[in-house]
Structure 1
Amino acid sequence: MMEALTKDVIFKKSPQELTALLYEGIIDNLEQAIELIQDLDYMNANVKLQRTNDILHRLGVGLKYEAGPIGQQLDLLYNYMADQIIMANIKKDASILREMIVLIEPIAQAWNDVLKKKVNVSQSSTVRKVSAYENSIMRVQN
């Protein structure tokens, strides 16, 4: 389940961490919408699905197309998902929403994996920079 998002928490997150939260938000909203549809609570399911499409829109706006074809592919995926979510909302079809979860989960997982590796890489990079700095100071002092 997503952590409580306060302004303080959001401002402390990197853009990459915020993207991970957006992916998590999509999955959470879709799972909740499925349950609400099964409970015949269509009004609240509608709210969850609208939030999901809002998140997809935000992700699409944040794409950097100069990064290569992956941006274009993600844009197509986000648009496809948004269209399917609208269709699922109209039909009250939870199976379509399950398909959307199947599509987005591997992307969210890959994003989180890269995020974890990047943290490890940046930490080791910092250690190397500090070591290089310490070495240069030791040479100057000698």
Structure 2
Amino acid sequence: MQFLSEEMIYQKTSQELTALLYEACLDNLESAISHINQKQFMEANKKLQNANDILQRLGVGLKYEAGIVADQLDALYNYMADRVIEANVTKNVETINEVISVLTTITSSWNEALKKKEHAAKLGLRKKAAAYEQHVMISPE
């Protein structure tokens, strides 16, 4: 994950911040696996707690008026948070890998939706510019 200044974070949309949270959660989970494999259980504990905190924040940030997708994401966040707690107690790498698998699927879908949204926004700006240009008179030199 790249270094982000506080100013850069304030310039991000809520959708971009969500993508950053997904990435940070995945980083923490992968770090936890590495620490478990090296028998550094205190460090693994910290990384798993960080991942759980991120999952909780993702759940709090949902807009439930968005409909069934928000409800389904909430259920997935809660499931993953429960599995992270279980993995932290048992230091079970397979459980962490399960969470990584689910979160990777969500992350790739989220990022794909962001790309489509950005593309649609760029097309919208082009259409607005084209509409404006139709009404501009160019004087001959």
- TM-score after normalising by structure 1: 0.92
Which consecutive unaligned segments of at least 5 residues does structure 1 have? none
Q: C-alpha deviations, 1:86-134, integer Å up to 9, x for none? A: 1100011111000001111011001111111111110111010111122
Identity of aligned residues (%): 50
Partner of 2:81 in structure 1?
Answer: 82
Partner of 1:132 in structure 2?
Answer: 131
Which consecutive unaligned segments of at least 5 residues does structure 2 have? none
Is 2:45 the counterpart of 1:22?
A: no
After superposition, residues 52-67 of structure 1 pair within 5 angstroms as: 52-67=51-66
CA distance in 1, matches of 2:115, 2:55: 23
Partner of 1:70 in structure 2?
Answer: 69
CA RMSD of aligned residues (A): 1.3
CA distance in 2, matches of 1:136, 1:32: 57
CA distance in 1, matches of 2:82, 2:107: 19
Once the two structures are TM-superposed, the CA of residue 66 in structure 1 deviates from its matched residue by 1.1
CA distance in 2, matches of 1:52, 1:65: 22
Is 2:96 the counterpart of 1:97?
A: yes
CA distance in 2, matches of 1:6, 1:41: 30
Partner of 2:49 in structure 1?
Answer: 50
Structure 1 residue ranges (4+ consecutive) displaced by more than 6 angstroms after TM superposition: none
Q: Secondary structure at the match of 1:63?
A: coil
Is 2:119 the counterpart of 1:120?
A: yes
Partner of 2:3 in structure 1?
Answer: 4
Once the two structures are TM-superposed, the CA of residue 27 in structure 1 deviates from its matched residue by 0.9
CA distance in 2, matches of 1:6, 1:34: 27
Once the two structures are TM-superposed, the CA of residue 136 in structure 1 deviates from its matched residue by 3.1
CA distance in 1, matches of 2:44, 2:5: 24
- TM-score after normalising by structure 2: 0.93
Once the two structures are TM-superposed, the CA of residue 5 in structure 1 deviates from its matched residue by 2.3
